Amino acid sequence: MTKAAKPFWKKSWFVPTVMYGLLVVAALALLFLADWATIQRNFFQEDIARRMFPEVLTIGAKNTIIYTAVAFAVGFVLALGLALMKLSPIGPYRWFATSYIELFRGLPALVTIILVAFGLPLAFGWRIPFGTAGKAAFGLGLVAAAYMAETIRAGIQAVPRGQMEAARSLGMSAPTAMTYIILPQAFRIIIPPLTNELVLLIKDTSLLFVVGTTPVSKELTKFGRDFMNLNANATPLTVIALVYLAITLPMTSLVRQLEKKAGKGR
Amino acid sequence: MKHKWTTSLALVVALALVGAGCGDDDDVDADAFGLVSAGTLTVCTDSPYAPMEFEDADGNFTGFDIELMRAIAKDLGLETAVVNSGFDPITSGLAMESGECDIAAASITITDEREANIDFSDQYFSGDQSLLVKAAGGMNTLASFAGENLGVQTGTTGEIYANENAPDATIVSYEGPGDLLTALVAGEVDGVLQDIVVNGEAALNDDSLSIVETYPTNEFYGLAVQEDGKEALLTAVNASLAKVRADGTYDDIYNDFFK
């Protein structure tokens, strides 16, 4: 009795062939189906791109970075407080932190920004100072705090319990042990997820257009969109996409270095 | 084994090339107007902009612009579909160029700058500007806005007018009239400079707001199509517009929304 020949789909060359085939088909489809002339005309017009400089950097990128920085700073401080409250032995603190986190994590950032920018003045007659940057700090900061609080809490809980016990047995008070023993270790753990938060925040600043913009307060996306509509061409989108990458890529690689350095101590 | 799957790789490439070569160009439209959806006049608008365009209680688009377009489409023997595309994509022409709609009816003031990106129909409405303030405030003229916040809608003739005539004011651009009114009531801006029809509607609905200045600009609204390729449609729309103005349909629609 002879051994039956293997069907072709069980042959060892079959799966790799299909895999490579799919790649090639996808690449060719992109190459042939895309209308390159139209793409070039709509997304890569050099003269329009040229006209965006230097304002795309001196206004757009600058504001995006400022809004991100203030929102991250406010968010981080709030988040640290919330994370400690959530781990507190005192019930009402925990309840407050939990409600805060659930509320602001559950609301779209856009809604929070509108509520902060328009709702606060309507309700209390109090306008947020420092223009758009103030609204970024409050509106986006409140949202970022909710996400970062959970990250920080997870980081604190990831530090082995023995660390706290050892610190306490050496005579440190609980707050001292938290500040000098637990938090430094927790932050090393949460650098990657915090970077994630920061990158998300950079992009969320594009939502700030709803609070109104003046020519000097536009962030990157609004700047690009206005330029796009002025010229009836999508090239500005390509430019701002590249500027966003020019901000995020060095930042994430910097954080990677930081992470490596922090990892050495472990 | 290696040569075997490189052979099949080549086979796949060859087949894919043949397949790609067979792609067909089916963007030839039988319709004389070159409509994006045959038998239907697809209209871009920027809603809400009451009373020109807004959603009624049932969620259907209505308003002066929309009903006028329905009358024109009916005259042309077409159905009407409304797409809420936002204002900037209309004035830049991107909404029509990308095939989202055939024509835009969005209280678009005819300006030379916009003519560069889009083609306008004959004018159908006055586009005068006005200044809306909180009645309690002391800001009664455009000159009094030096150093103060003046709200405008992004990309509108109100924004252009404010930039030209109130250069000392801090001009804050918002996305829509809803944002503008909220900002005015919240005190984020001290006045709103925009088309008189929309400010008039706001003043009518809220006693605490009033129009303190109007600016006859001698500008008018037009319907907009993309710059090239819709000439037949534009000619037909202009004929229909003249017809509905002559037979009283225009006045009926006007009375529905302004009386």
A15-25 pLDDT, tens per residue? Answer: 888 999 999 99
The answer to whether B53 touches B46, Cβ cutoff 8 Å, is yes
| A201-233 tens-digit pLDDT | 999 999 998 888 888 889 999 999 888 877 778
Most confident option among B22-31, B89-98, B243-252: B243-252
Q: With bands split at pLDDT 50, 70 and 90, how would you rate the model's confidence at A265?
A: low
Reported ipTM: 0.75
Contact residues, chain A, for B185 at CB < 8 Å: 122
**Overall average pLDDT of the A57-81 stretch:** 94
Q: Which residues are CB-contacts of A38 (< 8 A; sequence separation ≥ 6)?
A: none
Of all residues in chain B, the percent with pLDDT exceeding 70 is: 87
Positive or negative CA dihedral for B219, B223, B228, B230? Answer: negative
Residue B20 DSSP symbol: H
Model confidence at A112: pLDDT above 60: yes
**CA–CA distance, B69 with B62 (Å, rounded to integer):** 10
Q: Name the burial class of residue A203, with classes exposed (0-12), middle (13-18) and buried (19+) by CB atoms within 10 angstroms of its CB.
A: middle
Higher pLDDT, A262 or B220: B220
Whose tokens are 């009114």? That residue is: B181
Q: Which of B188, B192, B193 would you mutate first to test chain A, the one with the most A CBs within 10 A?
A: B188
Residue of B nearest to A120 (CA): B186
| β-strand partners of B62 | B54
Higher pLDDT, B28 or A41: A41
Q: Considering only B63-72, B73-82, B109-118, which range has the smallest mean pLDDT? A: B109-118
Positive or negative CA dihedral for B112, B114, B118, B124? Answer: negative
Higher pLDDT, B192 or B227: B192
Model confidence at A266: pLDDT above 70: no
CB contact under 8 A, A17 and B182: no
Higher pLDDT, B220 or A41: B220
**Overall average pLDDT of the A88-97 stretch:** 94
Q: Is B187 on the interface with A (CB under 8 A)?
A: yes
Q: With bands split at pLDDT 50, 70 and 90, how would you rate the model's confidence at B10?
A: low
State the average pLDDT for chain A.
Answer: 89
Q: In A115-182, which residue ranges form alpha helices assigned H by DSSP?
A: 120-124, 131-135, 141-158, 161-169, 174-177
Contact residues, chain A, for B23 at CB < 8 Å: 32-33
**CA–CA distance, B91 with B112 (Å, rounded to integer):** 11
- Residue B30: what pLDDT? 37
Find the helix or strand (DSSP H, E) in which A238 lies.
helix A235-264
Q: With bands split at pLDDT 50, 70 and 90, how would you rate the model's confidence at A1?
A: low
Coil, helix or strand at residue B2: helix
The answer to whether B240 touches B76, Cβ cutoff 8 Å, is yes
Positive or negative CA dihedral for A224, A225, A227, A233? Answer: positive
Q: Which of A229, A230, A233, A237 would you mutate first to test chain B, the one with the most B CBs within 10 A?
A: A229
**Overall average pLDDT of the B71-98 stretch:** 90
Contact residues, chain B, for A234 at CB < 8 Å: 94
pTM score above 0.80: no
- Residue B74: what pLDDT? 93
**Overall average pLDDT of the B143-164 stretch:** 91
Rounded to 5 degrees, what are φ and ψ at B239?
-65, -45
Q: With bands split at pLDDT 50, 70 and 90, how would you rate the model's confidence at B19?
A: very low
Q: Is B18 on the interface with A (CB under 8 A)?
A: no
| Torsion, CA A162, CA A163, CA A164, CA A169, rounded to 10 | 80
| A153-174 tens-digit pLDDT | 999 999 999 999 999 999 999 9
**Overall average pLDDT of the B226-240 stretch:** 92
CA distances from B52 to A188, B94, B132, B197, B240 (A): 57, 22, 18, 8, 19
CB contact under 8 A, A32 and B20: yes
Residue A214 DSSP symbol: -
